[in-house]
Structures are given as structure tokens and as C-alpha cells.
Chain A
Amino acid sequence: MSNDKNRHVIPGEVITTGSYRSEQNTFTEGDKIISTVIGLSDVRDGSVRVIPLTGGYVPKDDDLVIGKVVSHSAMAWQVNINSCYEGMLPASDIFGRDFSSHSDDLTSKLDNGDLIAARIVNADKTRDPLLTISGRELGKIDSGELMYISPSKVPRLIGKRGSMIQMIEGATNANVTIGQNGLLVISCDDSNGLIKAINAVELIEEQAHVANLTDKVNEMLESKSE
């Protein structure tokens, strides 16, 4: 079996054997390192991981997500975060410590159907992931264009240290909020810039697996601006 750095793998396929550290989307059986998803294997510095090509969103601590409020109880909002688990946003997160379920009305702050940018505080799967909206860039989203891409393509959209998204934002003057769950909001005062940013995101979603994507996106952004 070849030990190429990047190789297409399918679930159950042995990526490599030997003393490697098993990371993302892999598991070990004896000294074999086996993939659990369809994706591209990445063997480097003694560790093996697989970059997935398909798949949904699994909540992780400290992830920024964009969600839609679907319902509320007396103490918390339920938020659809495009995952198999529904996010829970406690009322005390907005009303503060002196929240009282008798005097405060949850719908006065967030109503069903509202979009929020939130951060995941605790995701341990034994209960629904806990959200917070206190923080910079978090809170209710009032305006912008909502888009959806596959969650497995989010890292590609962000790029290495945010290079891709910074390039798009720089070329179009748009402000893009990316949720790790695949939802993103683009806001831009200039309608041409907005269309360009949307096209760039669509291009990345379509060709996430292609090499030299940054150059392609750059080319597209520049060609349209002339």
C-alpha cells in the first residue's frame, strides 16, 4: 500500500501501518491506522488524519455557529444549529443573573425564527450543546445574506489562518460571519460586492477538493471587478 501524503480513502480503508498518532476521523487496530470517513488522508509529522469530503456537523466546544431559534421553554431557547443535537441557549445568558421566569418574557429578546450567532460552551453529547451569545460578533443577526455550505467544507472556506476568507472580504468589502456548522451570513453595503462574495463562496463549495483553489478564487474576484 502506498504511503502518499494525500490519498482518497474510504471508511474501513487502512491508511498506513506503523507507529503513527491517530488523529481526526481515524482509529487504530493493532498497528493499522484506519479511516472512518470518505476523504483525503494526510500523513505528516508522525500523525495521521483524514480530511472529510462529506458529513454533517458535530458540535465541539468553542465553535462559532449560526442557528435559528425554533422554540423556547420557561428557562431557555431551543436553537437549530444544523446538527443532530439541538442547541440550548439559557435565558440567564441574556437576562443576566437576576432572570426570573415570572417577570421576564423570553420572546421579548429572541423570538422563534430569529437567527443568532452563538458560541458553543459545552458539548458533551450526554445533553444538548450549551450556547452563549455573550461575546464579540455574537448575538442576534438582523441583516445580511444567509448561505449554507457543507460543514466539511468550512475549513476550506476559511483557509490557512483565515487567508481565503480574508481575501474574499478584502476584495469585496463584505463582512462574512462563518459558522462551523456550515451556515454563514454575508453582509455588504455594495450589491456588486455581495454578489461577488456569494459567487466566491459557491465556487469554494463546488471545488473544495481541487488544489490551488486560492488562485482560482483570486482570479474570479479580480476578473469580475474589471
Chain B
Amino acid sequence: MGGRDTDIVLLDENGIRSDGRKVNETRKVTIKAGVLKNANGSAYIEFGDNKILVGVYGPRDVHPKHMSDTSTGILRCRYHMAPFSVGERKNPAPSRREIEISKVIKEALQPAVMLKEFPRTAVDVYMEVLQADGGTRCAALTGSSVALADSAMAPISCSL
């Protein structure tokens, strides 16, 4: 997917991986918060060669209205891979995989966000994968928690 040769030696005799990392070394992580002006909270995360942009909007009015809950706020997540995020163009329409990852990330974030404080509202989390290199869902989740913290939507247990 990353456009690399396939006949590469993954691990050499010195215990160095093909990209120069040691066996027990993680990929380089860079996170920047507050990168989008129009979003209530945002984050940009680079996790190795993964590049993901996250925007958090809300709490705000729920549209369509029938989705709103009078006892609690609702969390909506959209994980999406840009057509140019992978080697061969990806169809921008949400795939089965993206729909599932959106659901899984929503369920991972839900207990950490104080939605009860904002009944009848929605918090929208948009994750846009700009470049994918494996492990995008974890990176997207990490980026989302930073973006939520930036929006002061109070993720209560996102201490990394």
C-alpha cells in the first residue's frame, strides 16, 4: 500500500527492521492540536507514515431532529480515507470497512466523553485519513481524543 518493494528484508541479522527501527521501537508519533480554525476542536496526527486530520464539531444542534436524545447528547463519528491516501485511488464513497471503523471508534470514545452534560445535542467527530500506512484506526482514535480534549468536550480518561 505504501508503494514499497515486496522483496525487502523485513528484519536483518542485527535486529533492525527494514525502515531502520529496532524490534521494540515504535513509529514516530507527532500530534498537533488546534489546527482547524472553524472546528471547535481539532488535531493532526502523524503516526509513522499515517497522516490523519481530525475535526470535532459541537456540542451543537442535532440534525435530523429525530436523532436527538432528551436525556443525553449523542456522539457521531466518521472515519474516512481520502481517495489519495493509498497507492491506488480509493473510491471516496464510505466502504463497509470505513462504516465499521466509524462505529468501533464511536463506541471507544463514547464512555470517555461527558455527553450527559449536554442533552439534546450532538458532537461530531470527523476523521480524514490523508495518508495511510497501516494502523490508521488506532491513529485516528488517538487523534480524536486529542481533538475532543481541544474542544473541551471533556474526554474523561484519555490520559495517554
Contacts and interface: CB of A to CB of B under 8 A. Distances in A.
A86 B60 CA distance: 10
B58 A12 contact: no
A27 B40 CA distance: 23
A57 B149 CA distance: 16
A37 B154 contact: yes
A37 B152 contact: yes
Nearest to B112: A12
Contact of B58 (A52, A55, A58, A84): A84
Contacts of A126: 70, 119
Given A54-B41, A84-B121, A38 B152 contact: yes
A125 B159 contact: no
Interface string A150-191: 001000000000000000000000000000000000000000
Interface string B52-75: 000000111100000000100000
B151 A54 contact: yes
Interface residues of B, number: 24
A49 to B, nearest CB: 14
A117 B72 CA distance: 29
Contact of A54 (B112, B114, B150): B150
Q: How many interface residues does chain A have, given as a range?
A: 20 to 34
Given A10-B149, A54-B151, A125 B156 contact: no
Interface in B138-160: 149-152, 154-159
B39 to A, nearest CB: 12
B150 to A, nearest CB: 6
A12 B114 CA distance: 12
Contacts of B158: 10-12
Which of A37, A52, A86 gathers most chain B CB within 10 Å?
A: A37
Which of A27, A34, A55, A152 gathers most chain B CB within 10 Å?
A: A55
A10 B151 CA distance: 12
Nearest to B150: A54
A187 B119 CA distance: 37
A113 interface: no
Given A54-B41, A54-B150, A126-B70, A11 B60 contact: no
Interface string B106-132: 000000101001111100000000000
B155 A12 contact: yes
Interface in A1-60: 10-13, 27, 34, 36-38, 52, 54-56, 58
A37 B155 CA distance: 8
Contacts of B159: 10-13
Nearest to B114: A36
Given A36-B114, A125-B118, A27 B156 contact: yes
A64 B8 CA distance: 66
A125 B58 CA distance: 15
Contacts of B152: 37-38, 52, 54-56, 152
A70 B108 CA distance: 37
A7 to B, nearest CB: 14
Given A56-B40, A84-B121, A12 B156 contact: yes
A36 B60 contact: no
The 7 closest A-B pairs by CB, nearest first: A55-B152, A36-B154, A84-B59, A12-B159, A54-B152, A84-B121, A12-B157
9 contacts: A10-B149, A11-B159, A12-B112, A12-B159, A38-B149, A38-B150, A56-B152, A58-B117, A85-B120
Interface of A: 10-13, 27, 34, 36-38, 52, 54-56, 58, 84-86, 125-126, 152
